[in-house]
Amino acid sequence: MDNKENFISFTQYLNIFKKHMAMIITWMCIGIVVAVVVTFGFMTPKYKSTVDLLVNQRTNDVAAQYNVQQADLQAIRTYKDVLTKGVILNDVLKEAKQKDNYTGSIDQLKSDISISNENNSQVISVTVVNKNPYVATDIANMIGDVFTRKIKKIMKVDNVTIVNKATVDTDPVSPRKKLNLALGALVGLMVGLMIAFIAEMRDTTINGEEFLVEELGLTILGKVNHLNLSDRDYNVARVVVKDEKDPGNWQDNRRV
């Protein structure tokens, strides 16, 4: 019984979708158009560039190599924190303003920087995001240069080198155009379905025998044919009698 009810419910939903398919597709198109307008008209493209720093203290003592490596891994935590401090970013900000006419503040610069490091990896990746791909690349390389130069004085150790300089990438990382268009279509679909179901819930008309039998579970006892109100004789019962003696003689008897 439950399976039958579920099947009927699914059929109802499918019928609603078919009935309002044109309207639902229209709302999907509206959602895509809105997504296109917002994505290409109001959202500023942003680009990213990454510089990779290797933390590796040089030593000729093979026996001490493991301990040195573990010390470098422990130092990475500190280095990740130092990279976002003013001791590094103040110099980077000053240089960026001179070279690229960077107009952001120190807080803005800090928010544009992200630092990542894989587990047990001695490589620190510094990624910079900016609306200009060339500015993003310059700032990333500036961070690498300033950090490798200043960390020697701060930590009294020379164990940081740049292994991969940042390069210009003209493919924006945001907005994500395809994702935004897909979300626009999905929102339009949801709006269209919601309107369709609301319209069905407010529709109290009976559309046929199938609705009475299948939807409401009622039994048909009889039918009343539709009367055309434009017919003047819709309220008159007409009886035509043929004269057996004179086949050409017809009598038209009417009864109201």
Return the pLDDT at 166.
96
Residues 59 and 148: their CA atoms lie apart, in Å, by: 18
Cross-strand bridge partners of residue 62: none
Output 252 or 118, whichever has higher pLDDT.
118
Asked, as a colleague might, if the bond just before 175 is cis with ω within 30 of 0, I would say yes
Q: Is the model's pLDDT at 209 over the cut of 80?
A: no
Confidence of residue 7 (pLDDT cuts 50, 70, 90): very low
Return the pLDDT at 5.
47
**83 Cβ contact partners less than 8 Å away, ≥ 6 residues apart:** 113, 115, 124, 126, 143, 147
Residue boundaries of the structural domains of the chain: 2-42+176-202, 47-164, 219-255
Is there a contact between 32 and 188 (Cβ–Cβ < 8 Å)?
yes
Q: Going along 45-197, which residue ranges are E strands?
A: 47-55, 113-116, 123-130, 160-164
Return the pLDDT at 256.
44
Return the pLDDT at 13.
78
CATH superfamily of 47-164: EIF_2_alpha (3.30.70.1130)
pLDDT tens for each residue of 65-93: 667 677 778 888 889 999 999 999 999 99
Confidence of residue 191 (pLDDT cuts 50, 70, 90): very high
pLDDT tens for each residue of 140-186: 999 999 999 999 888 887 888 999 999 999 999 998 889 999 999 99
Sign of the Cα torsion 95, 97, 102, 106 reads positive
Residues 144 and 173: their CA atoms lie apart, in Å, by: 22
Residue among 175, 178, 159, 203 nearest 71 (CA): 159
Return the pLDDT at 119.
85
Mean of all residue pLDDT scores within the chain: 81
Residues 216 and 148: their CA atoms lie apart, in Å, by: 78
> What tokens appear for 22 in the block?
């044109």
- Euclidean distance between the first and final Cα of the chain, in Å? 51
pLDDT tens for each residue of 35-54: 999 988 888 999 999 999 99
Residue where the block lists tokens 């529709």: 203
Confidence of residue 238 (pLDDT cuts 50, 70, 90): low
Instruction: Classify 123 as helix, strand or coil.
Output: strand
Residues 140 and 89: their CA atoms lie apart, in Å, by: 11
Residue among 88, 83, 87 nearest 53 (CA): 83
Return the pLDDT at 240.
52
Instruction: Work out the widest C-alpha separation in the chain, in whole angstroms.
Output: 138
Return the pLDDT at 6.
45
Residue among 182, 187, 207, 183 nearest 24 (CA): 187
